[in-house]
A and B are shown apart, each in its own frame.
Chain A
Amino acid sequence: RKEVEQDPGPFNVPEGATVAFNCTYSNSASQSFFWYRQDCRKEPKLLMSVYSSGNEDGRFTAQLNRASQYISLLIRDSKLSDSATYLCVVNDIRTNAGKSTFGDGTTLTVKP
């Protein structure tokens, strides 16, 4: 079993749709959580951190459930420009910076 598992996708949605991605992690020592976005043949870019209280950034909402070791990302009012692969990332921080474990990503295609 992989340390970080994501919905395999792909997700194909129309513009304006709401879409949710899920991610589970197995290492209970994990302390920091992130969603990254990766466009085709480009580097991953930090989308948002994920906090236990949940956090929102415009159309994007991230949630963390430590008890279930589960992370989610909700995208409302999808835009064509949201088409990308979304990577769930878990940090095992035992010092100031730590090892980041990535999921294999979920591909989203937003269609007109």
Chain B
Amino acid sequence: DAGVTQSPTHLIKTRGQQVTLRCSPKSGHDTVSWYQQALGQGPQFIFQYYEEEERQRGNFPDRFSGHQFPNYSSELNVNALLLGDSALYLCASSSDGRYGYTFGSGTRLTVV
């Protein structure tokens, strides 16, 4: 049973560019959340998708947007990249958040 898979694993982009990160949730999970983790900090909630809609959103600007597809997979898009967007981006899936989330191994984004 595959867990949460994310792609790509590493990415280098130039300031001002746009990036798309992808996530496939664990089998049986229908909810996908995205997090940004800077070095030395805990993951920061970006947003959550359920039934193809953004259900909750953290304190991130509109440059961060996402999508969920009918098969529950999800994308995170970041426009107009800033140097400060360099971080590990984690996708987490669940079927019921009361029992915790399963994380993917993340995409490490470097903006130069």
Contacts and interface: CB of A to CB of B under 8 A. Distances in A.
A99 B48 contact: yes
B31 A97 contact: yes
B41 A104 contact: yes
A98 B97 contact: yes
A93 B106 CA distance: 24
Interface in A38-66: 42-46, 49
B105 A43 contact: yes
Contacts, number: 69
Interface string B17-50: 0000000000000010101000011111100101
Interface in B80-100: 90, 92, 94, 96-100
B104 interface: yes
B70 to A, nearest CB: 18
B100 A104 contact: no
Contacts of A22: none
A45 B42 CA distance: 13
A32 B40 contact: no
Is chain A's binding surface mostly helix, strand, loop or mixed? Answer: strand
A49 B98 CA distance: 9
Contacts of B44: 102
A31 B41 CA distance: 23
A100 B101 contact: yes
A44 B43 contact: yes
Interface in B54-82: 55-56, 58
25 contacts: A32-B98, A43-B103, A43-B104, A44-B43, A46-B102, A49-B99, A49-B100, A89-B100, A91-B97, A93-B97, A93-B98, A95-B55, A96-B97, A97-B48, A97-B96, A97-B97, A98-B97, A99-B58, A100-B33, A100-B45, A100-B92, A100-B101, A101-B45, A103-B42, A105-B42
Interface of A: 4, 31-32, 34, 36, 42-46, 49, 87, 89, 91, 93, 95-105
